């Protein structure tokens, strides 16, 4: 097999592969910066919980309208926002910590969503909701993902400064501005929106993987925030591209293939990453030299 046959021919010969790679590129543009901020704000598990929280809303949309793009997207967005707000309210109104309340909402949402889909759909429909169909992306889904990504990048440009300051010194931000709370709510809304977009390609169980794994991988190579966002976005796109090729040549499911490629990149970064990887910590560094 020539390099052309292995790397280029699948995208030249098959339209569904071209649609998939465009969809992955759009998802990566939003997932890169959001995953970076989730990691820096120590909200990685929050992102995972919110990814599962959209399931019952998407399942209700499926129950009412079948595999309708807009019904499932609207249901997933409403469910994700309700869970995000509900977990915060429970954490502030009771003695339960936010991580515990999110875990409770996550488990309830996952079980409820699977139950609702099972009431009407088949096992194939359930797999579609849980694991997505990135190779089955159509024009409407591409437009939805592109619209979400555009809104994400525009909103991040507006709230970038308070969002960064909230990561570095939230106490100082609270003392000089009231924008911290607004930027936090806007950030959570962006996470939910991008999880809804990712859900159509990767499913509810894997959508957050394209956010968190590239961001965690990039952290082992760079420290600067701008470089971290750029590298995280690049890794997310390359993971999607390589995952699609692996899926095409080996006949494996596309969504899990993409996330496993991102996981392999993370494993390599853990060992070989120059900024805190295993080898960099074991090998003696340079000390004062004459």
Candidate ranges 64-68, 106-110, 160-164; pick with highest mean pLDDT: 160-164
pLDDT tens by residue, 189-243: 899 899 888 888 887 778 888 999 999 999 999 989 999 999 999 999 999 999 9
More confident residue, 85 or 242: 242
pLDDT tens by residue, 31-73: 999 999 998 888 777 777 788 788 888 888 888 887 788 888 8
pLDDT tens by residue, 170-195: 777 777 777 777 888 888 889 989 98
Residue 240: predicted pLDDT: 93
Q: Is the pLDDT of residue 263 over 80?
A: yes
CATH architecture of 3-282: Orthogonal Bundle (1.10)
pTM (predicted TM-score): 0.88
Residue 92: predicted pLDDT: 63
More confident residue, 245 or 64: 245
For residue 22, which of 208, 146, 193, 129 has the smallest C-alpha distance? 146
Residue 88: predicted pLDDT: 65
Alpha helices in the chain (DSSP H): 3, 9-13, 15-40, 44-65, 69-93, 98-120, 123-131, 139-168, 170-176, 179-202, 209-218, 225-250, 254-272, 278-282
Residues in the chain: 290
Q: Is the pLDDT of residue 106 over 80?
A: no
Report how far residue 54's alpha carbon sits from residue 75's, in angstroms, rounded to the nearest whole number: 8
Measure the N-to-C terminal CA separation of the chain; round to a whole number of Å.
55
Report how far residue 273's alpha carbon sits from residue 290's, in angstroms, rounded to the nearest whole number: 28
Question: Which of 24-38, 158-172, 249-263, 268-282 is least confident?
Answer: 158-172
pLDDT tens by residue, 20-34: 999 999 999 999 999
Q: What mean pLDDT, rounded, does the chain reach?
A: 84
Q: Is the pLDDT of residue 246 over 90?
A: yes
Percent of the chain with pLDDT over 90: 34
Domain residue spans of the chain: 3-282
Report how far residue 215's alpha carbon sits from residue 15's, in angstroms, rounded to the nearest whole number: 30
Residue 122: predicted pLDDT: 65
Residue 290: predicted pLDDT: 44
Name the token pair of 199. Answer: 């859900």
Q: Is the pLDDT of residue 151 over 90?
A: yes
């Amino acid at each position: 097999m020539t390099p052309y046959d292995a790397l280029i021919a699948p995208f030249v010969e098959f339209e569904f592969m071209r649609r998939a790679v465009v969809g992955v590129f759009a998802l990566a543009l939003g997932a890169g910066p959001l995953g970076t901020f989730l990691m820096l704000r120590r909200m990685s598990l929050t992102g995972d919980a919110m990814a599962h929280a959209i399931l019952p809303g998407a399942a209700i949309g499926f129950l009412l309208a079948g595999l309708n793009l807009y019904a499932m997207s609207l249901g997933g967005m409403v469910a994700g926002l309700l869970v995000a707000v509900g977990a915060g309210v429970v954490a502030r109104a009771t003695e339960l910590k936010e991580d515990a309340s999110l875990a409770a909402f996550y488990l309830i949402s996952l079980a409820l969503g699977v139950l609702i889909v099972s009431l009407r759909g088949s096992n194939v429909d359930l797999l579609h909701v849980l694991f997505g169909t990135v190779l089955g992306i159509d024009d409407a889904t591409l437009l939805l993902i592109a619209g979400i990504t555009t809104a994400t990048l525009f909103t991040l440009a507006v709230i970038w400064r308070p969002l960064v300051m909230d990561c570095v010194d939230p106490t100082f931000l609270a003392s000089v501005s009231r924008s911290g709370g607004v930027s936090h709510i806007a950030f959570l809304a962006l996470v939910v929106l991008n999880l809804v977009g990712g859900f159509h390609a990767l499913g509810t169980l894997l959508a957050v993987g394209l956010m968190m794994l590239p961001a965690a991988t990039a952290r082992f190579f760079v420290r600067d925030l701008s470089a971290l966002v750029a590298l995280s976005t690049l890794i997310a796109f390359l993971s999607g591209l390589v995952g699609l090729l692996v899926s095409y040549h080996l006949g494996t499911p596309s969504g899990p293939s993409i996330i496993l490629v991102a996981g392999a990149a993370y494993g390599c970064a853990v060992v070989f990453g120059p900024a805190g990887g295993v080898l960099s910590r074991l090998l003696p560094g340079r000390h004062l030299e004459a």
